Amino acid sequence: MRGHNGQVGKLVFRKKKKQGVEEVDMTKPKNVHLIVETLSGRFEGDFETDQKLQDVIDKAFLSLEIKPAPGSNWELRYQDVLLAPQKTIEEQHIPNRAVLTLALDEGGGG
């Protein structure tokens, strides 16, 4: 959005709040569409960037009717990088339309 001086500024919406005005910064997308691939199929869903990756895992399990065995260890990866389920989508820098891989960790053997 350009002001009358030709400079680009950020788009800010104001909405009323009980005690004052809350500013909502619209320059950063708050929603992302993610694709989760598993051996059982593919899940696609829309998420807010402040949601934890565990929410993505849980929704993929539910949608694909995967019932993890107690004590099983599942891993979520983006471009071969292991993601931390307790972190948010934004904290892990997951972009819109990212393809994530969800798989059972078979563990190391020897």
pLDDT tens track for 7-24: 444 444 455 555 666 555
Range 37-45 average pLDDT = 97
**Alpha-carbon distance 48 to 68, whole Å?**
25
For residue 54, is it within any domain?
Answer: yes
Model pLDDT, residue 106 = 78
6's tokens: 């030709």
| Position 87 confidence tier, pLDDT thresholds 50, 70, 90 | very high
What is the count of structural domains for the chain? 1
User: Which structural domain, as residue segments, surrounds residue 58?
Assistant: 31-104
For residue 1, is it within any domain?
Answer: no
Model pLDDT, residue 26 = 56
> What CATH number should be reported for the domain holding residue 94?
3.10.20.90
Give me the chain's average pLDDT, please. Answer: 83
For residue 22, is it within any domain?
Answer: no
Helix then strand count (H, E) for the chain reads 1, 7
pTM for the structure as a whole: 0.71
Model pLDDT, residue 21 = 62
| 44 pLDDT higher than 80 | yes
For residue 85, is it within any domain?
Answer: yes
Q: For 54-76, what is each residue's pLDDT tens digit?
A: 999 999 999 999 999 999 999 99
Contacts of 58 (CB under 8 A, 6+ apart): none
